[in-house]
Structure 1
Amino acid sequence: MTEVFDAVYRGESPFGKRPPWDIGTPQPAFVALEEAGRITGAVLDAGCGTGEDALHLAGKGYAVTGLDLSPTAIALARDKAGERGLDAVFEVADALELTGYEGRFDTVLDSGLAHTFEAGRLRVYAAALHRVCRPGAVAHILSISDQGAARMQARLAEAIEEIPAQLPDDDAAAPGLERSSGHLRSGFADGWTVESLTETRMRGIVPATSELLDLHAWLGSFRRD
C-alpha cells in the first residue's frame, strides 16, 4: 500500500494533485474535540497524511507526532511544519505495527485510517494503538459511514471520468470491510472501553472542483484500559 498512497500524494492518480481526504484544514470534528477539552497530553495523529490535524494541535501548544505509511505525505507534512514555524514530529510508520513508540501517547486522532481496515486488521490496529498508548489514553476515531462513502464516490464519479459511480463489492474486493459503528466497536473490543460512539460529519473535497462535502461518519472515542 505504500506505493499506492505515495502515488496518490505525488499526484499520480485520477484525483490529480489532491486526494479527497486532503482538505487543507483540520477536520471540524477534531477542532470541536479540542475546544471541548477532550484532547490531552502527548498526541498521536495516526495516518496523518499531509498533517493538517497534527499541525492544528501543534499550533495550540500540544506535543504532536504524526505517523503515516507514505514517505511523500510525511515529506509534505514536514514542509508545512517548516513553513508555518510549528514544532511537530512527522515520521514514516506502519500503523499496524507502530514499532518504537511504546507507551508514549495520551490521545490518538485517526481521521479516515480505521475505516480502511477489514475486521481482522482493525483488531491488529487497535492492539498496536494499545501498545503505544499509556493507561487511560483516549483514541478518537473518525470513520466514514457507508452512507458517506457512497455519497463521496458518486460525487467523485460525476467530476472525474476515471472513477466508477459505485464502490467495489466489499465481499469480492475486501472481505470483512465495513463502515458501521458496530465494526468500530468490535475492532476496539479488546483492551479498550467505549466512551462514546456517535454520528458526525467527516469533511472531504472533490479535487476536480475544490467542492467541500460534509459526509456522514462515525466518531468513536475509546479509552485504553
Structure 2
Amino acid sequence: MAPMTEPAGPPEGTAATAEVFDAVYRGESPFGKRPPWDIGAPQPAYVALEEAGLIAGAVLDAGCGTGEDALHLADRGYAVTGLDLSPEAIALAREKARARGLDAVFEVADALDLKGYRGRFDTVIDCGLAHTFEAGRLRTYAAALHRACRPGALVHVLSVSDRGAREMQARLAAAIDRIPEPLPDGESAEPALRRSAEHLREGFADGWAAESIDEALIRGIVPTTAELLDVHAWLGRFRRA
C-alpha cells in the first residue's frame, strides 16, 4: 500500500504571490481585464531615459509584466531580458514579442534570487517592483541585482511614492466598488512599507552608489475607464560598484 500523505495546502511565499498575479493577468480581480500598471505602452520615464543615453548594453527588465518596456527597448535595438514571477504575464509578453517580430527574451524568475543570471546585465529597469518590498526584502532584491549585473551597471528604479500610492488608491476606489477607500493618515501602512526616497537609498546602500533619486511620474490606468493617470513617483539611479 502506498504511504498516505497529507493533502497539499495552499501555496506559500513566492508561489502564492505568483498565483495572485496570475489571476490578475487572467482578468480575475477587481481590476477587470487590465491591471492598473498594464498601460499597453512603455513608461514615458523609460522612453526619456533611453533618449538621454542612459540605457546601454544588455538590459534586464525586472518585474517586466506583459513586457511593454522591454519590447520598446528591443525595438530600439537592445538585447533585453524580461523576468517576472507570473507565468501568465510572461506568456502574454512572449505573445506580444511574436506578434511584433521582436527578439526579446522573457522568462519566469524570482527577482529576489535571480539564479542563473550572474554577471549578465549592464542596465536594469524596474517599473513598480521595488516599491512592493519592505526594507529587508528590498536589500535582498538589491543584492540579487548586484550579482546579476556587471561592474559599473546602472539600475533605474521607477517607484510609486507614498503620495503617488494615495493618489492611485483614491482614483481606483472612486472607479471600482471593490477597491477600498484609503485609510486615515497614520493607518495606511506600516513604516517599513512606506515608499520614500530614503527607503530606496537604504535598500541600495550595499554595493551600489546612488547617483540620483528624483521626483518623477509613473503612468497607470483606471481599468474600468481605460483612463491614463500619472501619479507621483521616485526615479532612482544606482550604479554597481
Q: Which amino acid aligns with 2:203?
A: G
Q: C-alpha root-mean-square deviation of aligned residues, in Å?
A: 0.9
Amino acid in structure 1 at the alignment position of 2:111: A
2:57 matched to 1:38? no
Larger Rg: 1 or 2? 2
Q: 1:70 aligns with which of 86, 110, 127?
A: 86
Aligned with residue 192 of structure 1, among 208, 217, 225? 208
SS at match of 2:158: strand
Deviation of the 1:165 alpha carbon: 1.4
Match status 1:177 vs 2:184: no
Q: CA deviation at 1:76?
A: 0.1
For 2:227, the equivalent position in structure 1 comes to 211
Of 152, 164, 171, which aligns to 1:148? Answer: 164
1:136 paired with 2:152, answer yes
| Per-residue deviation, residues 40-59 of structure 1 (Å, max 9, x unmatched) | 00000000000000000000
> How far apart, CA to CA, are the structure 2 residues paired with 1:169 and 1:12?
25
Counterpart in the other structure of 1:202: 218
- Does residue 54 of structure 1 match 2:45? no
Give the TM-score, by structure 1 length. 0.97
CA distance in 1, matches of 2:182, 2:132: 16
Q: Secondary structure at the match of 2:82?
A: strand
1:13 paired to 2:29: yes
Deviations 1:114-156 (A, max 9, x none): 0000000000000000000000000000000111110110110
Q: Which amino acid aligns with 1:116?
A: T
Which letter maps to 1:12? E
Q: Which amino acid aligns with 1:100?
A: G
Per-residue deviation, 1:169? 3.1
CA distance in 2, matches of 1:106, 1:177: 29
Q: Distance in 2 between matches of 1:157 and 1:72?
A: 26
Supply the AA of the counterpart residue of 1:95.
Answer: A
Task: Specify every segment of 5 or more residues in structure 2 that has no aligned partner in the other structure, as ranges.
Answer: 1-16
2: distance between equivalents of 1:177 and 1:124?
Answer: 15
Question: Counterpart of 1:157 in structure 2: which amino acid?
Answer: A
- Asked if 1:110 corresponds to 2:126, the answer is yes
Cα drift, residue 176 of structure 1: 1.2
Unpaired segments ≥5 residues, structure 1? none
Q: Look up the match of 2:8.
A: none
In structure 1, the partner of 2:97 is: 81
Per-residue deviation, residues 159-200 of structure 1 (Å, max 9, x unmatched): 1000011167322xxx61121000000000000001111001
Question: Identity over aligned residues, as a percent?
Answer: 77
Structure 2: distance between partners of 1:169 and 1:59: 40
- 1:163 is aligned with what amino acid? I
State the alpha-carbon separation in 2 of the partners of residues 165 and 213 from structure 1: 18
